[in-house]
Structure 1
Amino acid sequence: MTVVTYALFLGGFVSGGVSAIIGLILAYANRSSASPRAQSHYTFLIRTFWIGAAIMLAAGAMLFWGAILSVILIGIPVLILGKLVFGLSSIWYGLRCIVGLLKALQNEAYPTPQNYIL
Protein backbone atom coordinates (compact mmCIF):
# COMPACT_ATOMS: atom_id res chain seq x y z
CA MET A 1 0.00 0.00 0.00
CA THR A 2 2.96 2.34 0.50
CA VAL A 3 3.80 2.14 -3.21
CA VAL A 4 0.24 3.21 -4.07
CA THR A 5 0.53 6.11 -1.65
CA TYR A 6 3.81 7.22 -3.21
CA ALA A 7 2.19 7.00 -6.66
CA LEU A 8 -0.66 9.20 -5.43
CA PHE A 9 1.80 11.72 -4.03
CA LEU A 10 3.70 11.84 -7.32
CA GLY A 11 0.40 12.10 -9.17
CA GLY A 12 -0.12 15.38 -7.35
CA PHE A 13 2.10 17.02 -9.96
CA VAL A 14 -0.46 16.37 -12.69
CA SER A 15 -3.67 16.45 -10.64
CA GLY A 16 -3.07 19.80 -8.98
CA GLY A 17 -2.49 18.14 -5.63
CA VAL A 18 -5.80 16.24 -5.48
CA SER A 19 -4.20 12.80 -5.61
CA ALA A 20 -1.62 13.90 -3.02
CA ILE A 21 -4.47 14.76 -0.63
CA ILE A 22 -5.97 11.30 -1.24
CA GLY A 23 -2.52 9.82 -0.54
CA LEU A 24 -2.30 11.85 2.67
CA ILE A 25 -5.66 10.48 3.83
CA LEU A 26 -4.47 6.94 3.04
CA ALA A 27 -1.22 7.52 4.93
CA TYR A 28 -3.07 8.74 8.02
CA ALA A 29 -5.60 5.89 7.80
CA ASN A 30 -3.01 3.12 7.38
CA ARG A 31 -0.18 4.34 9.61
CA SER A 32 -1.45 3.00 12.94
CA SER A 33 -2.16 -0.53 11.69
CA ALA A 34 0.89 -0.85 9.43
CA SER A 35 4.13 -2.71 10.01
CA PRO A 36 7.09 -0.70 11.34
CA ARG A 37 8.55 -0.62 7.83
CA ALA A 38 5.37 0.83 6.37
CA GLN A 39 4.94 3.20 9.34
CA SER A 40 8.29 4.79 8.54
CA HIS A 41 7.12 5.43 4.98
CA TYR A 42 3.75 6.82 6.07
CA THR A 43 5.43 9.15 8.57
CA PHE A 44 7.82 10.26 5.84
CA LEU A 45 4.96 10.91 3.41
CA ILE A 46 2.88 12.83 5.95
CA ARG A 47 5.83 15.07 6.78
CA THR A 48 6.60 15.53 3.08
CA PHE A 49 3.05 16.70 2.44
CA TRP A 50 2.81 19.18 5.31
CA ILE A 51 6.31 20.64 4.90
CA GLY A 52 5.74 20.92 1.16
CA ALA A 53 2.34 22.55 1.68
CA ALA A 54 3.83 25.13 4.06
CA ILE A 55 6.63 25.98 1.63
CA MET A 56 4.21 26.20 -1.31
CA LEU A 57 1.93 28.47 0.71
CA ALA A 58 4.87 30.77 1.44
CA ALA A 59 5.86 30.74 -2.24
CA GLY A 60 2.28 31.52 -3.24
CA ALA A 61 2.21 34.47 -0.85
CA MET A 62 5.47 35.75 -2.30
CA LEU A 63 4.09 35.44 -5.83
CA PHE A 64 0.84 37.19 -4.85
CA TRP A 65 2.47 40.10 -3.06
CA GLY A 66 5.25 40.29 -5.61
CA ALA A 67 2.68 40.68 -8.38
CA ILE A 68 0.89 43.44 -6.49
CA LEU A 69 4.09 45.26 -5.52
CA SER A 70 5.60 44.95 -8.98
CA VAL A 71 3.56 47.99 -9.94
CA ILE A 72 6.06 50.05 -7.96
CA LEU A 73 9.00 47.80 -8.92
CA ILE A 74 9.57 46.60 -5.35
CA GLY A 75 7.77 43.36 -6.10
CA ILE A 76 10.01 42.17 -8.91
CA PRO A 77 12.64 40.64 -6.57
CA VAL A 78 9.82 39.16 -4.49
CA LEU A 79 8.34 37.60 -7.64
CA ILE A 80 11.71 36.14 -8.59
CA LEU A 81 12.21 34.77 -5.08
CA GLY A 82 8.70 33.29 -5.06
CA LYS A 83 9.31 31.52 -8.37
CA LEU A 84 12.66 30.23 -7.11
CA VAL A 85 11.13 28.91 -3.87
CA PHE A 86 8.26 27.32 -5.81
CA GLY A 87 10.63 25.59 -8.24
CA LEU A 88 13.06 24.36 -5.61
CA SER A 89 10.27 23.07 -3.37
CA SER A 90 8.78 21.17 -6.31
CA ILE A 91 12.15 19.52 -6.93
CA TRP A 92 12.49 18.74 -3.20
CA TYR A 93 9.00 17.20 -3.08
CA GLY A 94 9.59 15.09 -6.19
CA LEU A 95 12.97 13.84 -5.01
CA ARG A 96 11.59 12.88 -1.59
CA CYS A 97 8.79 10.92 -3.22
CA ILE A 98 11.10 9.17 -5.68
CA VAL A 99 13.68 8.24 -3.02
CA GLY A 100 10.93 6.96 -0.72
CA LEU A 101 9.32 5.01 -3.54
CA LEU A 102 12.64 3.33 -4.35
CA LYS A 103 13.04 2.32 -0.68
CA ALA A 104 9.48 0.97 -0.64
CA LEU A 105 10.06 -1.02 -3.83
CA GLN A 106 13.18 -2.55 -2.24
CA ASN A 107 11.00 -3.49 0.75
CA GLU A 108 13.12 -1.40 3.13
CA ALA A 109 12.02 0.91 5.92
CA TYR A 110 12.73 4.56 5.34
CA PRO A 111 15.85 5.19 7.48
CA THR A 112 15.17 8.79 8.53
CA PRO A 113 11.46 9.61 8.24
CA GLN A 114 11.81 12.69 10.47
CA ASN A 115 14.50 14.28 8.28
CA TYR A 116 13.80 17.49 6.38
CA ILE A 117 16.05 16.98 3.37
CA LEU A 118 15.87 13.37 2.17
Structure 2
Amino acid sequence: MTYDPGPAPVTTDNHKTLAIIIYVLSLAGFVTGGITSIIALVIGLVKKNDVRGTIYESHFEFANWTNIWMLVAGIAIWIVGTLLMLVLIGFIVLPIALVLLAVWYGVRLILGLIKLMDNRPVDNPRGFLF
Protein backbone atom coordinates (compact mmCIF):
# COMPACT_ATOMS: atom_id res chain seq x y z
CA MET A 1 0.00 0.00 0.00
CA THR A 2 1.40 3.37 -0.97
CA TYR A 3 1.08 6.51 1.07
CA ASP A 4 -1.06 9.24 -0.46
CA PRO A 5 -0.43 12.57 1.25
CA GLY A 6 -3.42 14.13 -0.46
CA PRO A 7 -3.44 17.44 -2.26
CA ALA A 8 -0.55 19.79 -1.70
CA PRO A 9 -1.30 22.68 0.63
CA VAL A 10 -2.19 25.89 -1.10
CA THR A 11 0.28 28.67 -0.49
CA THR A 12 -0.46 32.28 -1.12
CA ASP A 13 1.45 35.51 -1.05
CA ASN A 14 -0.50 36.24 2.14
CA HIS A 15 1.41 33.49 3.93
CA LYS A 16 4.76 34.95 2.92
CA THR A 17 3.59 38.46 3.80
CA LEU A 18 2.45 37.30 7.23
CA ALA A 19 5.81 35.60 7.83
CA ILE A 20 7.60 38.83 6.86
CA ILE A 21 5.37 40.76 9.26
CA ILE A 22 6.24 38.33 12.06
CA TYR A 23 9.98 38.74 11.42
CA VAL A 24 9.70 42.54 11.22
CA LEU A 25 7.60 42.76 14.39
CA SER A 26 10.12 40.54 16.17
CA LEU A 27 13.03 42.73 15.07
CA ALA A 28 11.08 45.85 16.03
CA GLY A 29 11.16 44.48 19.57
CA PHE A 30 14.61 46.06 19.86
CA VAL A 31 12.96 49.48 19.61
CA THR A 32 9.72 48.75 21.48
CA GLY A 33 11.18 46.94 24.45
CA GLY A 34 9.85 43.58 23.28
CA ILE A 35 6.17 44.53 22.94
CA THR A 36 6.09 43.90 19.19
CA SER A 37 7.99 40.63 19.69
CA ILE A 38 5.19 39.41 21.94
CA ILE A 39 2.64 40.51 19.32
CA ALA A 40 4.64 38.57 16.68
CA LEU A 41 4.61 35.51 18.92
CA VAL A 42 0.85 35.68 19.39
CA ILE A 43 0.27 36.11 15.64
CA GLY A 44 2.64 33.23 14.90
CA LEU A 45 0.91 30.91 17.36
CA VAL A 46 -2.59 31.81 16.18
CA LYS A 47 -1.83 31.53 12.45
CA LYS A 48 0.56 28.56 12.40
CA ASN A 49 -2.18 26.09 11.42
CA ASP A 50 -2.91 28.17 8.31
CA VAL A 51 0.56 27.45 6.93
CA ARG A 52 0.83 23.79 7.93
CA GLY A 53 2.49 21.75 5.20
CA THR A 54 4.03 24.74 3.42
CA ILE A 55 7.57 26.11 3.51
CA TYR A 56 6.23 28.91 5.68
CA GLU A 57 5.45 26.49 8.50
CA SER A 58 9.16 26.23 9.29
CA HIS A 59 9.44 30.03 9.39
CA PHE A 60 6.50 30.41 11.76
CA GLU A 61 7.93 27.73 14.04
CA PHE A 62 11.41 29.28 13.82
CA ALA A 63 10.15 32.77 14.72
CA ASN A 64 7.92 31.42 17.50
CA TRP A 65 10.75 29.44 19.10
CA THR A 66 13.11 32.38 18.73
CA ASN A 67 10.67 34.69 20.51
CA ILE A 68 9.94 32.14 23.23
CA TRP A 69 13.68 31.56 23.88
CA MET A 70 14.29 35.31 23.93
CA LEU A 71 11.54 35.85 26.47
CA VAL A 72 12.62 32.99 28.74
CA ALA A 73 16.34 33.75 28.48
CA GLY A 74 15.78 37.47 28.99
CA ILE A 75 13.83 36.88 32.19
CA ALA A 76 16.41 34.37 33.44
CA ILE A 77 19.29 36.73 32.71
CA TRP A 78 17.57 39.59 34.53
CA ILE A 79 16.91 37.43 37.59
CA VAL A 80 20.41 35.95 37.75
CA GLY A 81 22.08 39.26 36.89
CA THR A 82 20.12 41.08 39.59
CA LEU A 83 21.02 38.47 42.17
CA LEU A 84 24.67 38.64 41.15
CA MET A 85 24.60 42.39 41.73
CA LEU A 86 24.53 41.58 45.43
CA VAL A 87 28.11 40.39 45.05
CA LEU A 88 28.93 43.14 42.50
CA ILE A 89 29.74 40.77 39.62
CA GLY A 90 26.22 41.28 38.26
CA PHE A 91 27.15 44.78 37.11
CA ILE A 92 29.50 43.14 34.62
CA VAL A 93 27.66 39.91 33.85
CA LEU A 94 24.19 41.38 33.26
CA PRO A 95 25.04 43.81 30.45
CA ILE A 96 27.34 41.32 28.70
CA ALA A 97 24.71 38.57 28.84
CA LEU A 98 21.98 40.91 27.56
CA VAL A 99 24.15 42.06 24.64
CA LEU A 100 24.99 38.45 23.71
CA LEU A 101 21.30 37.53 23.86
CA ALA A 102 20.37 40.51 21.68
CA VAL A 103 23.01 39.58 19.10
CA TRP A 104 21.80 35.97 19.03
CA TYR A 105 18.20 37.14 18.62
CA GLY A 106 18.95 39.63 15.86
CA VAL A 107 21.22 37.33 13.86
CA ARG A 108 18.78 34.44 14.11
CA LEU A 109 15.85 36.55 12.91
CA ILE A 110 17.81 38.14 10.07
CA LEU A 111 19.03 34.74 8.83
CA GLY A 112 15.45 33.44 8.95
CA LEU A 113 14.22 36.46 7.03
CA ILE A 114 16.91 35.95 4.39
CA LYS A 115 15.82 32.33 3.92
CA LEU A 116 12.21 33.47 3.68
CA MET A 117 13.04 36.00 0.98
CA ASP A 118 14.85 33.23 -0.93
CA ASN A 119 11.72 31.04 -0.61
CA ARG A 120 13.63 28.41 1.37
CA PRO A 121 12.43 26.71 4.54
CA VAL A 122 14.38 26.88 7.78
CA ASP A 123 16.34 23.63 8.13
CA ASN A 124 16.03 23.19 11.89
CA PRO A 125 13.34 25.56 13.23
CA ARG A 126 13.60 24.30 16.81
CA GLY A 127 17.36 24.33 16.89
CA PHE A 128 19.06 26.65 19.34
CA LEU A 129 21.55 28.07 16.89
CA PHE A 130 20.77 28.48 13.21
User: Displaced runs of 4+ in structure 1, greater than 4 A?
Assistant: none
Structure 2 residues not aligned, in runs of 5+:
1-17
Structure showing greater radius of gyration is: 2
Aligned to 1:36: 54
For 2:91 and 2:73, the matched residues in 1 are separated by 15
Q: Does 1:86 align with 2:98?
A: yes
Percent identity, aligned pairs only, is: 26
Which residue identity does 1:98 align to in structure 2?
I
Deviations 1:48-104 (A, max 9, x none): 01111111111111332233x1xxxx2x22331222211100000000110001111
Aligned to 1:98: 110
> Does the aligned pair in 2 maintain the 1:62–1:79 contact within 8 Å?
no
Q: Does 1:51 align with 2:62?
A: no
* Backbone CA RMSD of aligned residues: 1.2
For 1:64 and 1:81, the matched residues in 2 are separated by 10
SS for the counterpart of 2:119 is coil
Q: TM-score scaled by structure 2?
A: 0.80
Aligned residues: 112
Aligned to 2:5: none
Q: TM-score scaled by structure 1?
A: 0.88
Deviations 1:3-57 (A, max 9, x none): 1110000000001111111111111111111142111001111110111111111
Structure 1 residues not aligned, in runs of 5+:
none
Q: Whose helix proportion is higher, 1 or 2?
A: 1
Aligned to 2:42: 25
